[in-house]
Amino acid sequence: MKPEITPWQYPPSELVLKDGELHLWRFGLDSSKPELDDLRGFLAADEIIRADRLLDLQKKKQFIVARARLREILGHYQKVKPQEIKFQYNTHGKPALSESLHSSVSFNLSHSGHWGTLAVVNEFAVGIDLEQIEAGMVFSQVADRYFNDDEKLQLAQYPPARQRRGFYRLWTQKEAMLKAEGVGFQIKSSADRYFKIKRWYLRSFPIASGFICSVATTGKIVSIQKFHFQSNRVDAI
């Protein structure tokens, strides 16, 4: 049975995350200077250090916005202020809510270009990957190097006019599975063998024109709520 999927909508003032429900968020990464200063105030000391290490000013701004939005959204679920959200990290750097928050919420964040995405579920692990579709990228060379035999076969089954989008769909699904497992892409070979013996729920979504994301989880998903985050707005439309 396929899960029910809502259209993109603004979130309600009270967020309820039911078992088997996936909340998919999208948000823009552009911000004004005053807003960026406010969002920087949401971050923890280690996040500010990471931001300040980025030499590319645009990437630095996008990192700050993405982490601040993550904190704002998770704060709605936890009913705490964004700066009160605390994280813990596994050996590969994947964040999770600190045990001190006593929460069953799992999440994963991804951003590309001027868009960010966040997947939120209860209890089980989740991974999400967002990519901007690049018209000039020679995707066949990337597929030859990184795709396994099954993925190459799936890519070949797309008609020529849809192969580029098909590549990004397969690529983001692979990345999302790796992120759900909390491992790095550098160990993809062993991960590929593991993926074949584990059942995955995989779903791809267009986020905006030229952007595609995929979500991966091993939990049973019965419904998907798609939310558009807008600054200073949490009421439903």
Question: At residue 125, what is the residue type?
Answer: A
Q: How many CB atoms lie within 10 A of CB 83?
A: 14
Domains of the chain: 4-228 (3.90.470.20)
Q: Cα separation of 48 and 64, whole Å?
A: 8
The most distant pair of C-alpha atoms in the chain lies apart, rounded to whole Å, by 51
Contacting residues for 233 by C-beta, under 8 A, at least 6 apart: 10
Q: Cα separation of 129 and 204, whole Å?
A: 9
Give the pLDDT of the chain (237 residues) as one tens digit per residue: 788 999 999 999 889 999 999 999 999 999 999 999 999 999 999 999 999 999 999 999 999 999 999 999 999 999 999 999 999 998 888 999 999 998 999 999 999 999 999 999 998 999 999 999 999 999 999 999 999 899 999 999 999 999 999 999 999 999 999 999 887 655 454 455 545 546 789 999 999 999 999 999 988 899 999 999 976 544 332
The H-assigned helical ranges of the chain are 33-40, 45-53, 57-78, 139-146, 149-156, 163-181, 188-195
What pLDDT shows up at residue 198?
61
Q: In what order do the strands lie in the sheet with 105-112?
A: 4-5, 223-228, 21-28, 115-122, 105-112
